[in-house]
Amino acid sequence: MAALGAPMFNETQVLEIRTAYAGGETAPSLSRRFGSSVPTILKIARGQSYKAIGGPIVSTCKRIGHLNHKTQITSADVIQIRDARSKGVKCKVLANTNGVHASNISDAENGKMGQTG
């Protein structure tokens, strides 16, 4: 167990997380692999923590989606949101993690976004 205030991950692990996430591995998969929470993995992958360490940084504002050029939630995010909600993760936690309003999380969960055709 790491001492209070000590980093959970070393530089090699942070680079591995960032590289894997940028390459398409999901945050839940990485959280299982590294024994950490999804929000912690996302903060690392998005450069919100371990800022002094390099590697590929995935933007928190992805701006992907053919129906809305301002969308911040991708189809992959919708899948992760639905999975997390089925496991009891609160909308507010997911909203903070994804950088959106809680109503967007509710919409994703209820099928009001994420359709690609």
Distance of alpha carbon 87 from its chain centroid, rounded? 16
Q: Are residues 65 and 19 in the same domain?
A: no
Q: Are residues 115 and 80 in the same domain?
A: yes
Q: Are residues 67 and 117 in the same domain?
A: yes
54 lies in a domain? no
Rg from Cα positions in the chain: 15
Give CA separation, 2 vs 6, 31, 47, 106, in Å: 6, 17, 21, 36
Greater model confidence, 116 or 74:
74
Greater model confidence, 37 or 75:
37
Let me know how long the chain is.
117
Is 115 a residue whose pLDDT tops 50? no
Q: Are residues 25 and 72 in the same domain?
A: no
pLDDT of residue 105: 85
Q: Which domain holds residue 29?
A: 11-45
3 lies in a domain? no
The reported pTM is 0.51
Q: Are residues 64 and 91 in the same domain?
A: yes
Q: What is the tens place of the pLDDT at every residue in 81-110?
A: 889 999 999 988 888 777 778 888 888 888
Is 36 a residue whose pLDDT tops 90? yes
